A and B are shown apart, each in its own frame.
Chain A
Amino acid sequence: MSENAQKIEPANNSEPPYERQLKLVPAKKKSFWSKNKHGILFASPWILGLLIFYAIPLFSSIYFSFTTYSILQPGEFVGLQNYKDLFTDSLFWKSVYNTVYFAVFFVPLSIIFGVALAMMLNMNVKGMGIYRTIFFLPTLVPHVALAVLWMWLLNPGFGLVNGLLSTIGIDGPAWLGSVTWSKPSLIMMSLWGIGQAVIIYLAGLGDIPEDYYDAAKVDGANWYQKMRHITLPLLTPVIFFNLVMGIIAAFQQFTLPYTLTQGQGTPANSLSFYVMYLYDNGFKFFKMGYASAMAWILFVIIMALTALVFITSKRWVHYQGK
Protein backbone atom coordinates (compact mmCIF):
# COMPACT_ATOMS: atom_id res chain seq x y z
CA MET A 1 0.00 0.00 0.00
CA SER A 2 2.67 2.47 0.98
CA GLU A 3 4.48 1.62 -2.24
CA ASN A 4 1.48 2.77 -4.23
CA ALA A 5 1.54 6.03 -2.38
CA GLN A 6 5.14 6.57 -3.31
CA LYS A 7 4.39 5.78 -6.95
CA ILE A 8 1.60 8.33 -7.03
CA GLU A 9 3.84 11.12 -5.79
CA PRO A 10 5.97 11.77 -8.92
CA ALA A 11 2.80 12.03 -10.99
CA ASN A 12 1.70 14.94 -8.87
CA ASN A 13 5.02 16.70 -9.23
CA SER A 14 5.96 18.66 -12.27
CA GLU A 15 7.93 16.70 -14.88
CA PRO A 16 11.66 16.45 -14.12
CA PRO A 17 13.92 18.21 -16.62
CA TYR A 18 14.74 16.28 -19.79
CA GLU A 19 18.42 15.79 -18.80
CA ARG A 20 17.41 14.17 -15.49
CA GLN A 21 15.09 11.77 -17.29
CA LEU A 22 18.01 10.48 -19.33
CA LYS A 23 20.37 10.09 -16.33
CA LEU A 24 18.06 8.00 -14.23
CA VAL A 25 20.78 6.28 -12.19
CA PRO A 26 22.32 9.23 -10.33
CA ALA A 27 18.87 10.59 -9.55
CA LYS A 28 17.93 7.26 -7.92
CA LYS A 29 21.15 7.10 -5.94
CA LYS A 30 20.54 10.54 -4.57
CA SER A 31 17.12 9.56 -3.31
CA PHE A 32 18.22 6.51 -1.29
CA TRP A 33 18.64 8.45 1.94
CA SER A 34 15.55 10.57 1.50
CA LYS A 35 13.56 7.42 0.70
CA ASN A 36 14.68 5.52 3.79
CA LYS A 37 15.62 8.23 6.25
CA HIS A 38 12.33 8.17 8.14
CA GLY A 39 12.39 4.45 8.72
CA ILE A 40 15.98 4.50 9.90
CA LEU A 41 15.54 7.63 12.00
CA PHE A 42 12.43 6.24 13.69
CA ALA A 43 14.24 2.98 14.48
CA SER A 44 17.52 4.66 15.47
CA PRO A 45 16.99 4.57 19.26
CA TRP A 46 16.62 0.82 19.09
CA ILE A 47 19.48 0.34 16.60
CA LEU A 48 21.72 2.07 19.16
CA GLY A 49 20.09 0.28 22.09
CA LEU A 50 20.50 -3.09 20.43
CA LEU A 51 24.21 -2.44 19.95
CA ILE A 52 24.98 -0.89 23.33
CA PHE A 53 22.73 -2.87 25.66
CA TYR A 54 22.50 -6.22 23.88
CA ALA A 55 25.02 -6.97 21.11
CA ILE A 56 28.21 -5.66 22.71
CA PRO A 57 27.43 -7.07 26.20
CA LEU A 58 26.46 -10.41 24.64
CA PHE A 59 29.77 -10.80 22.84
CA SER A 60 31.89 -9.43 25.68
CA SER A 61 30.17 -11.89 28.00
CA ILE A 62 31.37 -14.80 25.83
CA TYR A 63 34.88 -13.39 26.03
CA PHE A 64 34.70 -12.83 29.81
CA SER A 65 33.62 -16.43 30.30
CA PHE A 66 37.06 -17.51 29.03
CA THR A 67 38.93 -15.18 31.40
CA THR A 68 39.47 -14.62 35.13
CA TYR A 69 38.13 -11.08 34.78
CA SER A 70 36.98 -9.19 37.87
CA ILE A 71 36.49 -5.56 38.75
CA LEU A 72 39.56 -5.69 40.96
CA GLN A 73 42.00 -7.10 38.38
CA PRO A 74 42.14 -7.20 34.58
CA GLY A 75 42.21 -10.99 34.48
CA GLU A 76 43.77 -13.26 31.92
CA PHE A 77 42.61 -15.62 29.22
CA VAL A 78 42.18 -19.12 30.64
CA GLY A 79 40.30 -20.87 27.86
CA LEU A 80 37.73 -23.35 29.10
CA GLN A 81 39.03 -23.36 32.68
CA ASN A 82 35.92 -21.64 34.13
CA TYR A 83 33.68 -24.23 32.53
CA LYS A 84 35.86 -27.07 33.77
CA ASP A 85 35.87 -25.63 37.30
CA LEU A 86 32.08 -25.38 37.27
CA PHE A 87 31.77 -29.08 36.57
CA THR A 88 33.58 -29.89 39.80
CA ASP A 89 31.91 -27.11 41.86
CA SER A 90 29.50 -28.83 44.24
CA LEU A 91 27.63 -25.60 45.03
CA PHE A 92 27.05 -25.12 41.29
CA TRP A 93 25.50 -28.58 41.05
CA LYS A 94 23.44 -27.93 44.17
CA SER A 95 22.04 -24.76 42.57
CA VAL A 96 21.32 -26.66 39.36
CA TYR A 97 19.53 -29.36 41.34
CA ASN A 98 17.41 -26.83 43.25
CA THR A 99 16.51 -24.93 40.10
CA VAL A 100 15.56 -28.07 38.18
CA TYR A 101 13.57 -29.33 41.20
CA PHE A 102 11.61 -26.08 41.26
CA ALA A 103 11.00 -26.07 37.51
CA VAL A 104 9.97 -29.74 37.36
CA PHE A 105 7.30 -29.28 40.01
CA PHE A 106 6.26 -25.68 39.52
CA VAL A 107 5.82 -25.57 35.72
CA PRO A 108 3.43 -28.57 35.41
CA LEU A 109 1.56 -27.59 38.58
CA SER A 110 1.11 -24.05 37.31
CA ILE A 111 -0.35 -25.39 34.07
CA ILE A 112 -2.74 -27.79 35.84
CA PHE A 113 -3.91 -25.22 38.38
CA GLY A 114 -3.92 -22.44 35.80
CA VAL A 115 -6.13 -24.31 33.36
CA ALA A 116 -8.43 -25.55 36.15
CA LEU A 117 -8.81 -22.03 37.56
CA ALA A 118 -9.44 -20.57 34.12
CA MET A 119 -12.18 -23.14 33.50
CA MET A 120 -13.77 -22.26 36.82
CA LEU A 121 -13.56 -18.56 36.04
CA ASN A 122 -15.10 -19.17 32.64
CA MET A 123 -18.38 -20.49 34.09
CA ASN A 124 -21.49 -18.51 33.47
CA VAL A 125 -22.42 -17.31 36.95
CA LYS A 126 -23.18 -13.94 38.50
CA GLY A 127 -20.39 -11.87 40.03
CA MET A 128 -17.66 -13.45 37.92
CA GLY A 129 -15.88 -10.10 37.62
CA ILE A 130 -15.31 -10.11 41.37
CA TYR A 131 -13.94 -13.66 41.41
CA ARG A 132 -11.63 -12.91 38.51
CA THR A 133 -10.30 -9.83 40.27
CA ILE A 134 -9.60 -11.83 43.44
CA PHE A 135 -7.57 -14.40 41.51
CA PHE A 136 -5.59 -11.69 39.78
CA LEU A 137 -4.75 -9.55 42.84
CA PRO A 138 -1.75 -11.62 44.06
CA THR A 139 0.12 -10.99 40.80
CA LEU A 140 0.16 -7.30 41.70
CA VAL A 141 2.19 -7.82 44.87
CA PRO A 142 5.87 -6.92 44.34
CA HIS A 143 8.06 -10.00 44.76
CA VAL A 144 9.96 -8.66 47.73
CA ALA A 145 6.68 -7.94 49.53
CA LEU A 146 5.36 -11.34 48.45
CA ALA A 147 8.39 -13.05 49.96
CA VAL A 148 8.08 -11.13 53.24
CA LEU A 149 4.35 -11.83 53.43
CA TRP A 150 4.84 -15.58 52.92
CA MET A 151 7.69 -15.72 55.43
CA TRP A 152 5.14 -14.50 57.91
CA LEU A 153 2.35 -16.80 56.73
CA LEU A 154 4.71 -19.79 56.95
CA ASN A 155 6.31 -18.74 60.23
CA PRO A 156 6.63 -22.05 62.13
CA GLY A 157 5.63 -20.65 65.51
CA PHE A 158 3.08 -17.93 64.87
CA GLY A 159 2.21 -18.15 61.17
CA LEU A 160 -1.31 -18.45 59.85
CA VAL A 161 -0.67 -21.65 57.90
CA ASN A 162 0.49 -23.64 60.91
CA GLY A 163 -2.27 -21.98 62.93
CA LEU A 164 -4.90 -23.29 60.54
CA LEU A 165 -3.22 -26.72 60.42
CA SER A 166 -3.26 -26.95 64.21
CA THR A 167 -7.02 -26.38 64.31
CA ILE A 168 -7.42 -29.64 62.38
CA GLY A 169 -4.88 -31.36 64.58
CA ILE A 170 -1.85 -31.26 62.31
CA ASP A 171 1.49 -30.17 63.67
CA GLY A 172 2.81 -28.08 60.78
CA PRO A 173 6.44 -28.34 59.60
CA ALA A 174 9.04 -25.57 59.87
CA TRP A 175 8.41 -24.73 56.17
CA LEU A 176 11.16 -22.33 55.08
CA GLY A 177 13.33 -23.48 57.98
CA SER A 178 13.23 -27.10 56.91
CA VAL A 179 15.41 -28.62 54.21
CA THR A 180 12.54 -30.86 53.08
CA TRP A 181 9.85 -28.18 53.00
CA SER A 182 11.70 -25.07 51.85
CA LYS A 183 11.31 -25.75 48.12
CA PRO A 184 7.65 -26.88 48.37
CA SER A 185 7.04 -23.62 50.27
CA LEU A 186 8.54 -21.67 47.42
CA ILE A 187 6.42 -23.58 44.91
CA MET A 188 3.31 -22.86 46.96
CA MET A 189 3.92 -19.11 47.14
CA SER A 190 4.73 -19.02 43.43
CA LEU A 191 1.45 -20.76 42.66
CA TRP A 192 -0.32 -18.02 44.59
CA GLY A 193 0.74 -15.60 41.85
CA ILE A 194 -0.38 -17.47 38.70
CA GLY A 195 -3.14 -14.96 37.90
CA GLN A 196 -1.31 -13.69 34.83
CA ALA A 197 -1.22 -17.15 33.23
CA VAL A 198 -4.88 -17.64 34.18
CA ILE A 199 -5.84 -14.50 32.24
CA ILE A 200 -4.11 -15.87 29.15
CA TYR A 201 -5.90 -19.22 29.53
CA LEU A 202 -9.19 -17.36 29.92
CA ALA A 203 -8.60 -15.53 26.67
CA GLY A 204 -7.83 -18.87 25.04
CA LEU A 205 -11.08 -20.32 26.36
CA GLY A 206 -12.95 -17.31 25.01
CA ASP A 207 -11.57 -18.02 21.53
CA ILE A 208 -13.15 -21.48 21.35
CA PRO A 209 -16.32 -21.20 19.23
CA GLU A 210 -19.53 -22.07 21.03
CA ASP A 211 -20.61 -24.16 17.98
CA TYR A 212 -18.22 -26.95 18.95
CA TYR A 213 -19.90 -27.36 22.30
CA ASP A 214 -23.36 -27.18 20.75
CA ALA A 215 -22.42 -29.90 18.28
CA ALA A 216 -20.97 -32.05 21.07
CA LYS A 217 -24.16 -31.58 23.08
CA VAL A 218 -26.24 -32.78 20.16
CA ASP A 219 -24.03 -35.85 19.99
CA GLY A 220 -24.67 -36.43 23.67
CA ALA A 221 -21.15 -35.73 24.94
CA ASN A 222 -20.74 -35.38 28.71
CA TRP A 223 -18.71 -32.79 30.58
CA TYR A 224 -15.53 -34.89 30.61
CA GLN A 225 -15.71 -35.71 26.91
CA LYS A 226 -16.20 -32.04 26.03
CA MET A 227 -13.18 -31.08 28.09
CA ARG A 228 -11.01 -33.90 26.79
CA HIS A 229 -11.87 -33.52 23.11
CA ILE A 230 -12.74 -29.84 22.64
CA THR A 231 -11.47 -27.58 25.42
CA LEU A 232 -8.03 -29.05 26.06
CA PRO A 233 -6.97 -29.58 22.43
CA LEU A 234 -8.04 -26.06 21.47
CA LEU A 235 -6.30 -24.65 24.53
CA THR A 236 -2.94 -26.20 23.57
CA PRO A 237 -1.58 -23.10 21.77
CA VAL A 238 -2.04 -21.10 24.97
CA ILE A 239 -0.66 -23.91 27.14
CA PHE A 240 2.33 -24.00 24.80
CA PHE A 241 2.92 -20.26 25.31
CA ASN A 242 2.65 -20.50 29.09
CA LEU A 243 4.88 -23.58 29.14
CA VAL A 244 7.69 -21.76 27.35
CA MET A 245 7.33 -18.64 29.51
CA GLY A 246 7.06 -20.77 32.66
CA ILE A 247 10.29 -22.66 31.94
CA ILE A 248 12.19 -19.45 31.21
CA ALA A 249 10.93 -17.79 34.40
CA ALA A 250 11.59 -20.87 36.56
CA PHE A 251 15.24 -20.99 35.53
CA GLN A 252 15.70 -17.30 36.27
CA GLN A 253 14.20 -17.46 39.79
CA PHE A 254 16.00 -14.92 41.96
CA THR A 255 14.07 -12.31 43.93
CA LEU A 256 11.90 -14.69 45.99
CA PRO A 257 14.65 -17.03 47.27
CA TYR A 258 17.07 -14.11 47.71
CA THR A 259 14.64 -12.20 49.90
CA LEU A 260 13.49 -15.30 51.80
CA THR A 261 17.05 -16.19 52.77
CA GLN A 262 18.79 -12.79 52.71
CA GLY A 263 20.83 -14.11 49.82
CA GLN A 264 22.13 -17.08 51.82
CA GLY A 265 20.08 -19.90 50.26
CA THR A 266 19.47 -21.38 53.71
CA PRO A 267 18.73 -23.89 55.19
CA ALA A 268 21.69 -26.01 54.06
CA ASN A 269 21.73 -24.40 50.57
CA SER A 270 18.29 -25.86 49.89
CA LEU A 271 17.16 -22.47 48.53
CA SER A 272 20.35 -21.68 46.66
CA PHE A 273 19.18 -21.16 43.08
CA TYR A 274 21.16 -20.90 39.89
CA VAL A 275 20.90 -17.14 39.40
CA MET A 276 21.58 -16.55 43.10
CA TYR A 277 24.86 -18.44 42.84
CA LEU A 278 25.64 -16.57 39.62
CA TYR A 279 25.02 -13.27 41.41
CA ASP A 280 27.21 -14.33 44.34
CA ASN A 281 30.08 -15.24 42.03
CA GLY A 282 29.83 -12.04 40.02
CA PHE A 283 29.09 -9.44 42.65
CA LYS A 284 30.09 -10.93 46.01
CA PHE A 285 33.25 -12.84 45.08
CA PHE A 286 33.90 -10.65 41.99
CA LYS A 287 34.61 -13.75 39.91
CA MET A 288 33.04 -12.18 36.85
CA GLY A 289 34.58 -14.57 34.35
CA TYR A 290 33.24 -17.50 36.31
CA ALA A 291 29.79 -15.88 36.57
CA SER A 292 29.79 -15.18 32.83
CA ALA A 293 30.45 -18.85 32.17
CA MET A 294 27.45 -19.66 34.38
CA ALA A 295 25.32 -17.17 32.45
CA TRP A 296 26.22 -18.85 29.16
CA ILE A 297 25.43 -22.30 30.48
CA LEU A 298 22.05 -20.95 31.59
CA PHE A 299 21.48 -19.43 28.16
CA VAL A 300 22.25 -22.76 26.48
CA ILE A 301 19.96 -24.68 28.89
CA ILE A 302 17.06 -22.28 28.28
CA MET A 303 17.57 -22.34 24.51
CA ALA A 304 17.74 -26.15 24.47
CA LEU A 305 14.58 -26.53 26.53
CA THR A 306 12.71 -23.98 24.44
CA ALA A 307 13.83 -25.73 21.27
CA LEU A 308 12.71 -29.05 22.72
CA VAL A 309 9.27 -27.67 23.51
CA PHE A 310 9.02 -26.19 20.01
CA ILE A 311 10.02 -29.47 18.35
CA THR A 312 7.56 -31.56 20.36
CA SER A 313 4.83 -28.94 19.91
CA LYS A 314 4.03 -30.22 16.44
CA ARG A 315 2.73 -33.38 18.08
CA TRP A 316 0.53 -31.87 20.76
CA VAL A 317 -0.33 -28.27 19.85
CA HIS A 318 -3.47 -27.90 17.76
CA TYR A 319 -4.19 -24.63 16.03
CA GLN A 320 -7.75 -23.82 15.07
CA GLY A 321 -8.40 -24.03 11.35
CA LYS A 322 -5.47 -26.36 10.73
Chain B
Amino acid sequence: MDSTTKKKVSRYSAHIVLIVASFFFLIPFLWMVSTSLKPLTQVFTFPPEWIPRPFMWSNYTDAMEYIPFFTYLRNTIVITVLSTLGAVISCPLVAYSFAKLRWPGRNILFIITIGVMMIPGQVTMIPLFLLFEKFGMVGTPYPLIIPAFFGVPFYIFLLRQFFMGLPDSLREAARIDGAGEFRIYWQIMLPLAKPAVLAVGLFQFMASWTDFIGPLLYLTDSLQYTLSLGLQQFQSQRGSEWGLMMAVSTMMTLPIIVLFFLLQKTFIRGITFSGIK
Protein backbone atom coordinates (compact mmCIF):
# COMPACT_ATOMS: atom_id res chain seq x y z
CA MET B 1 0.00 0.00 0.00
CA ASP B 2 1.37 3.43 -0.87
CA SER B 3 1.04 6.22 1.62
CA THR B 4 -1.97 8.00 0.06
CA THR B 5 -4.18 4.91 0.09
CA LYS B 6 -2.96 4.19 3.59
CA LYS B 7 -4.04 7.67 4.63
CA LYS B 8 -7.40 7.19 2.93
CA VAL B 9 -8.00 3.90 4.70
CA SER B 10 -7.16 5.35 8.09
CA ARG B 11 -9.43 8.33 7.41
CA TYR B 12 -12.34 6.08 6.45
CA SER B 13 -11.84 3.85 9.45
CA ALA B 14 -11.79 6.96 11.66
CA HIS B 15 -15.17 7.97 10.26
CA ILE B 16 -16.57 4.48 10.76
CA VAL B 17 -15.47 4.38 14.42
CA LEU B 18 -16.87 7.86 15.00
CA ILE B 19 -20.19 7.07 13.35
CA VAL B 20 -20.64 3.86 15.34
CA ALA B 21 -19.88 5.69 18.59
CA SER B 22 -22.17 8.57 17.60
CA PHE B 23 -25.04 6.13 17.29
CA PHE B 24 -24.81 5.20 20.95
CA PHE B 25 -25.16 8.87 21.86
CA LEU B 26 -27.75 9.82 19.28
CA ILE B 27 -30.15 6.88 19.33
CA PRO B 28 -31.71 7.62 22.75
CA PHE B 29 -32.54 11.11 21.45
CA LEU B 30 -34.12 9.85 18.27
CA TRP B 31 -36.02 7.28 20.31
CA MET B 32 -37.35 10.02 22.60
CA VAL B 33 -38.61 12.08 19.68
CA SER B 34 -39.95 9.04 17.82
CA THR B 35 -41.88 7.79 20.86
CA SER B 36 -43.23 11.26 21.54
CA LEU B 37 -45.05 11.10 18.19
CA LYS B 38 -46.42 7.57 18.42
CA PRO B 39 -49.99 6.53 19.17
CA LEU B 40 -50.26 4.51 22.40
CA THR B 41 -50.99 1.27 20.53
CA GLN B 42 -47.77 1.57 18.57
CA VAL B 43 -45.75 2.40 21.67
CA PHE B 44 -46.45 -1.12 22.89
CA THR B 45 -45.28 -3.13 19.91
CA PHE B 46 -42.43 -5.58 20.02
CA PRO B 47 -39.99 -5.51 18.33
CA PRO B 48 -40.03 -1.69 18.49
CA GLU B 49 -40.79 0.38 15.38
CA TRP B 50 -39.05 3.62 14.55
CA ILE B 51 -41.47 5.53 12.31
CA PRO B 52 -44.67 6.68 14.00
CA ARG B 53 -47.83 5.59 12.14
CA PRO B 54 -49.63 7.99 12.08
CA PHE B 55 -47.65 10.94 13.45
CA MET B 56 -49.49 11.85 16.64
CA TRP B 57 -48.74 15.56 16.95
CA SER B 58 -51.65 15.63 19.37
CA ASN B 59 -49.41 13.92 21.97
CA TYR B 60 -47.85 17.32 22.54
CA THR B 61 -51.13 19.16 23.00
CA ASP B 62 -52.49 16.28 25.11
CA ALA B 63 -49.44 16.38 27.35
CA MET B 64 -49.96 20.10 27.88
CA GLU B 65 -53.48 19.36 29.08
CA TYR B 66 -52.64 16.36 31.27
CA ILE B 67 -50.29 18.48 33.33
CA PRO B 68 -50.58 22.26 33.71
CA PHE B 69 -47.65 22.56 31.34
CA PHE B 70 -47.71 26.32 30.86
CA THR B 71 -47.96 26.93 34.60
CA TYR B 72 -44.91 24.72 35.16
CA LEU B 73 -43.12 26.41 32.28
CA ARG B 74 -43.83 29.85 33.68
CA ASN B 75 -42.68 28.81 37.18
CA THR B 76 -39.48 27.36 35.74
CA ILE B 77 -38.80 30.48 33.68
CA VAL B 78 -39.39 32.81 36.64
CA ILE B 79 -37.03 30.87 38.91
CA THR B 80 -34.40 30.38 36.18
CA VAL B 81 -34.37 33.98 34.97
CA LEU B 82 -34.31 35.56 38.43
CA SER B 83 -31.61 33.28 39.83
CA THR B 84 -29.49 33.76 36.70
CA LEU B 85 -29.92 37.50 37.08
CA GLY B 86 -28.86 37.23 40.71
CA ALA B 87 -25.74 35.26 39.87
CA VAL B 88 -24.58 37.55 37.06
CA ILE B 89 -25.09 40.65 39.21
CA SER B 90 -23.46 39.47 42.42
CA CYS B 91 -20.67 37.10 41.31
CA PRO B 92 -18.69 39.48 39.01
CA LEU B 93 -18.87 42.21 41.65
CA VAL B 94 -17.38 39.94 44.31
CA ALA B 95 -14.90 38.35 41.91
CA TYR B 96 -13.68 41.80 40.84
CA SER B 97 -13.13 42.74 44.45
CA PHE B 98 -11.11 39.54 45.00
CA ALA B 99 -9.05 40.07 41.85
CA LYS B 100 -8.41 43.81 41.67
CA LEU B 101 -9.25 45.66 44.86
CA ARG B 102 -7.16 45.66 48.00
CA TRP B 103 -8.63 45.30 51.44
CA PRO B 104 -7.61 43.50 54.62
CA GLY B 105 -8.89 39.93 54.84
CA ARG B 106 -9.34 39.61 51.12
CA ASN B 107 -6.98 36.69 50.63
CA ILE B 108 -8.23 34.75 53.64
CA LEU B 109 -11.81 35.20 52.47
CA PHE B 110 -10.87 33.96 49.01
CA ILE B 111 -9.28 30.82 50.47
CA ILE B 112 -12.45 30.26 52.53
CA THR B 113 -14.49 30.67 49.34
CA ILE B 114 -12.52 27.89 47.67
CA GLY B 115 -12.95 25.74 50.77
CA VAL B 116 -16.71 26.30 50.71
CA MET B 117 -16.87 24.77 47.23
CA MET B 118 -15.87 21.47 48.83
CA ILE B 119 -18.87 21.34 51.18
CA PRO B 120 -21.52 18.95 49.85
CA GLY B 121 -24.91 20.65 49.53
CA GLN B 122 -26.45 18.01 51.79
CA VAL B 123 -24.56 19.34 54.82
CA THR B 124 -26.19 22.75 54.69
CA MET B 125 -29.49 21.49 53.25
CA ILE B 126 -31.31 20.86 56.53
CA PRO B 127 -30.31 24.03 58.43
CA LEU B 128 -31.10 26.08 55.32
CA PHE B 129 -34.50 24.46 55.07
CA LEU B 130 -35.18 25.33 58.71
CA LEU B 131 -33.98 28.89 58.10
CA PHE B 132 -36.33 29.39 55.17
CA GLU B 133 -39.08 27.71 57.19
CA LYS B 134 -38.57 30.33 59.92
CA PHE B 135 -38.99 33.11 57.37
CA GLY B 136 -42.15 31.45 56.06
CA MET B 137 -40.59 30.87 52.65
CA VAL B 138 -41.12 27.10 52.38
CA GLY B 139 -43.81 26.70 49.77
CA THR B 140 -42.58 29.71 47.79
CA PRO B 141 -39.93 29.90 45.04
CA TYR B 142 -37.83 32.44 47.01
CA PRO B 143 -35.40 29.87 48.49
CA LEU B 144 -34.53 28.88 44.92
CA ILE B 145 -33.85 32.50 43.88
CA ILE B 146 -32.53 34.55 46.80
CA PRO B 147 -29.21 32.71 47.46
CA ALA B 148 -27.99 33.44 43.91
CA PHE B 149 -28.08 37.19 44.68
CA PHE B 150 -25.51 36.64 47.43
CA GLY B 151 -22.94 34.95 45.20
CA VAL B 152 -22.09 31.37 44.24
CA PRO B 153 -18.56 30.26 45.21
CA PHE B 154 -17.76 28.34 42.04
CA TYR B 155 -18.77 31.23 39.78
CA ILE B 156 -16.90 33.74 41.94
CA PHE B 157 -13.80 31.57 41.58
CA LEU B 158 -14.15 31.32 37.79
CA LEU B 159 -14.72 35.05 37.34
CA ARG B 160 -11.91 35.95 39.72
CA GLN B 161 -9.48 33.95 37.59
CA PHE B 162 -10.76 35.78 34.53
CA PHE B 163 -10.42 39.26 36.09
CA MET B 164 -6.87 38.38 37.22
CA GLY B 165 -5.96 38.05 33.54
CA LEU B 166 -7.11 41.58 32.67
CA PRO B 167 -4.37 44.27 32.73
CA ASP B 168 -4.33 46.90 35.47
CA SER B 169 -3.21 49.63 33.09
CA LEU B 170 -6.81 50.12 31.94
CA ARG B 171 -7.96 50.81 35.47
CA GLU B 172 -5.15 53.26 36.06
CA ALA B 173 -5.87 55.13 32.86
CA ALA B 174 -9.53 55.41 33.84
CA ARG B 175 -8.64 56.58 37.34
CA ILE B 176 -6.40 59.31 36.00
CA ASP B 177 -9.33 60.40 33.86
CA GLY B 178 -11.27 60.77 37.11
CA ALA B 179 -13.47 57.68 37.05
CA GLY B 180 -14.59 56.28 40.42
CA GLU B 181 -14.14 52.63 41.41
CA PHE B 182 -17.68 51.68 40.53
CA ARG B 183 -17.53 53.38 37.14
CA ILE B 184 -14.24 51.66 36.34
CA TYR B 185 -15.89 48.34 37.17
CA TRP B 186 -19.15 48.97 35.37
CA GLN B 187 -17.91 50.68 32.22
CA ILE B 188 -14.50 49.14 31.66
CA MET B 189 -13.80 45.90 33.52
CA LEU B 190 -17.25 44.27 33.40
CA PRO B 191 -17.63 44.68 29.61
CA LEU B 192 -14.20 43.07 29.19
CA ALA B 193 -15.31 40.10 31.29
CA LYS B 194 -18.40 39.54 29.15
CA PRO B 195 -17.41 36.07 27.89
CA ALA B 196 -16.85 34.79 31.42
CA VAL B 197 -20.02 36.43 32.74
CA LEU B 198 -21.98 34.87 29.89
CA ALA B 199 -20.55 31.44 30.75
CA VAL B 200 -21.54 31.88 34.39
CA GLY B 201 -25.03 32.98 33.37
CA LEU B 202 -25.33 29.91 31.20
CA PHE B 203 -24.19 27.59 34.01
CA GLN B 204 -26.71 29.09 36.41
CA PHE B 205 -29.46 28.92 33.80
CA MET B 206 -28.78 25.21 33.24
CA ALA B 207 -28.53 24.52 36.96
CA SER B 208 -31.85 26.21 37.72
CA TRP B 209 -33.68 24.83 34.70
CA THR B 210 -32.73 21.24 35.51
CA ASP B 211 -32.70 21.50 39.32
CA PHE B 212 -34.73 18.79 41.00
CA ILE B 213 -33.88 18.53 44.70
CA GLY B 214 -34.39 22.28 45.29
CA PRO B 215 -37.95 22.37 43.96
CA LEU B 216 -38.63 19.00 45.64
CA LEU B 217 -37.74 20.51 49.02
CA TYR B 218 -39.28 23.93 48.75
CA LEU B 219 -42.25 23.80 46.37
CA THR B 220 -45.10 22.20 48.23
CA ASP B 221 -48.09 23.36 46.17
CA SER B 222 -48.44 21.61 42.82
CA LEU B 223 -49.30 24.93 41.14
CA GLN B 224 -45.77 26.12 41.94
CA TYR B 225 -44.03 23.11 40.45
CA THR B 226 -41.25 23.46 37.92
CA LEU B 227 -40.98 21.30 34.79
CA SER B 228 -38.55 18.89 36.51
CA LEU B 229 -40.90 18.31 39.40
CA GLY B 230 -43.93 18.23 37.09
CA LEU B 231 -42.41 15.56 34.87
CA GLN B 232 -41.42 13.46 37.89
CA GLN B 233 -44.97 13.70 39.28
CA PHE B 234 -46.47 12.85 35.91
CA GLN B 235 -44.18 9.84 35.64
CA SER B 236 -45.10 8.52 39.09
CA GLN B 237 -48.83 8.92 38.42
CA ARG B 238 -49.17 7.83 34.79
CA GLY B 239 -46.08 5.70 34.29
CA SER B 240 -47.28 3.96 31.13
CA GLU B 241 -48.15 6.99 28.99
CA TRP B 242 -44.76 6.89 27.30
CA GLY B 243 -45.78 8.99 24.29
CA LEU B 244 -46.91 11.86 26.48
CA MET B 245 -43.92 11.60 28.81
CA MET B 246 -41.50 11.64 25.90
CA ALA B 247 -43.33 14.71 24.57
CA VAL B 248 -42.85 16.51 27.90
CA SER B 249 -39.20 15.39 28.04
CA THR B 250 -38.61 16.69 24.53
CA MET B 251 -40.23 20.04 25.30
CA MET B 252 -38.19 20.35 28.47
CA THR B 253 -34.88 19.59 26.75
CA LEU B 254 -35.49 21.69 23.64
CA PRO B 255 -34.85 25.17 25.14
CA ILE B 256 -31.44 24.03 26.41
CA ILE B 257 -30.50 22.57 23.05
CA VAL B 258 -31.53 25.79 21.29
CA LEU B 259 -29.49 27.78 23.79
CA PHE B 260 -26.54 25.48 23.21
CA PHE B 261 -26.61 26.02 19.46
CA LEU B 262 -26.89 29.78 19.92
CA LEU B 263 -24.06 30.02 22.44
CA GLN B 264 -21.93 27.00 21.55
CA LYS B 265 -18.59 28.79 21.90
CA THR B 266 -19.46 30.25 25.31
CA PHE B 267 -20.59 26.83 26.50
CA ILE B 268 -17.40 25.07 25.49
CA ARG B 269 -15.14 27.85 26.67
CA GLY B 270 -16.87 27.95 30.05
CA ILE B 271 -16.47 24.22 30.63
CA THR B 272 -12.87 24.20 29.47
CA PHE B 273 -12.06 27.18 31.64
CA SER B 274 -13.49 25.48 34.72
CA GLY B 275 -11.41 22.39 34.09
CA ILE B 276 -8.04 23.74 33.16
CA LYS B 277 -7.42 26.91 35.10
Contact = CB atoms under 8 A, between A and B. Distances in A.
A50 B153 CA distance: 9
Contacts of B118: 302-303, 306
B260 interface: yes
16 contacts: A42-B101, A46-B156, A49-B150, A50-B112, A58-B123, A58-B124, A125-B15, A137-B25, A143-B210, A150-B28, A192-B28, A199-B268, A200-B275, A252-B120, A255-B213, A295-B125
A57 B22 contact: no
B102 A200 contact: no
B44 A158 contact: yes
A199 B272 contact: yes
B40 to A, nearest CB: 11
A117 B172 CA distance: 46
A241 B275 contact: yes
Nearest to A261: B236
Contacts of B120: 248, 251-252, 295, 298-299, 302
Contacts of A131: 18, 22
A22 interface: no
A117 B25 CA distance: 11
B1 interface: no
Given A57-B124, A141-B249, A200-B271, 11 more contacts: A58-B124, A64-B127, A125-B11, A140-B256, A149-B249, A192-B28, A199-B268, A199-B275, A203-B275, A204-B276, A207-B276
A61 interface: yes
Which 6 A/B pairs are nearest by Cβ-Cβ distance? A49-B150, A39-B103, A200-B275, A42-B97, A39-B101, A57-B127
Interface residues of B, number: 98
Q: For the complex, would chain A's binding face be called helix, strand, loop or mixed by DSSP majority?
A: helix
Interface stretch (B59-67, B128-136, B193-201): B128-136
A121 B268 CA distance: 14
B111 interface: no
B126 interface: yes
A45 interface: yes
Nearest to A291: B126
B7 to A, nearest CB: 11
B112 to A, nearest CB: 7
Interface string A51-63: 0111011101100
Contacts of A136: 260
Given A36-B102, A57-B127, A138 B96 contact: no
A45 B97 CA distance: 11
B181 A167 contact: no
A61 B123 CA distance: 7
Nearest to B12: A125
A177 B183 CA distance: 61
A125 B18 contact: yes
Contact of B182 (A4, A38, A64): A38
A50 to B, nearest CB: 7
Given A120-B21, A203-B272, A299-B119, A5 B171 contact: yes
A48 B102 contact: no
A262 B236 contact: yes
A40 B101 CA distance: 9
Contacts of B191: none
Contacts of A123: 14, 18
Contact of A259 (B116, B169, B232, B253): B232
A45 to B, nearest CB: 5
A145 interface: yes
B29 interface: yes
B22 A135 contact: yes
Nearest to B44: A158
Given A45-B149, A50-B116, A259 B121 contact: no
A296 B22 contact: no
B32 interface: yes
A134 B25 contact: yes
A158 B150 contact: no
Contact of B276 (A36, A53, A200, A299): A200
Interface string A148-161: 11111101011110
